[in-house]
Amino acid sequence: MAIHNRAGQPAQQSDLINVAQLTAQYYVLKPEAGNAEHAVKFGTSGHRGSAGRHSFNEPHILAIAQAIAEERAKNGITGPCYVGKDTHALSEPAFISVLEVLAANGVDVIVQENNGFTPTPAVSNAILVHNKKGGPLADGIVITPSHNPPEDGGIKYNPPNGARRIPTLLKW
């Protein structure tokens, strides 16, 4: 893999994003029904998009979180849902949306102490450690677009086996 010609250099003005504008777009812009560019695309590692492109907005996250809550109920997952987030700008508003939906569905949620950030593997590990003890099964949600650009957001579902997805979620 080639090293980028700007590796190790400070960010340029053109690299920066307007976090306040991006956050506002998350709440204000709505996806258009029937527009494939605005649709939820839940791939092998969750759904990713950007608020400015109408592909990662509050309606997307509310729908995904509700689908996860329904999937949990359908599969008898009654233990806690571990919810983690990273430092991308859209992670915080998506985190709030997910927590609202899970609370409305009566799901017990465990988050990082002091509203901290959570590496993706930590959520998988927490699920596995919890489920190894027996009792009600836990699962998790990670809010991250991983290595995608700073203007992107992402959300992943980790079922009780700690993996990144389950096939039935891909059908939504």
CA dist., res. 13 & res. 144, Å (int): 24
The catalytic residues are 146
Contact 154, 41 (CB under 8 A): no
Distance, CA of 51 to CA of 58 (rounded, Å): 9
| Interatomic CA distance for residues 167 and 59, integer angstroms | 22
CA-atom Rg of the chain in angstroms = 17
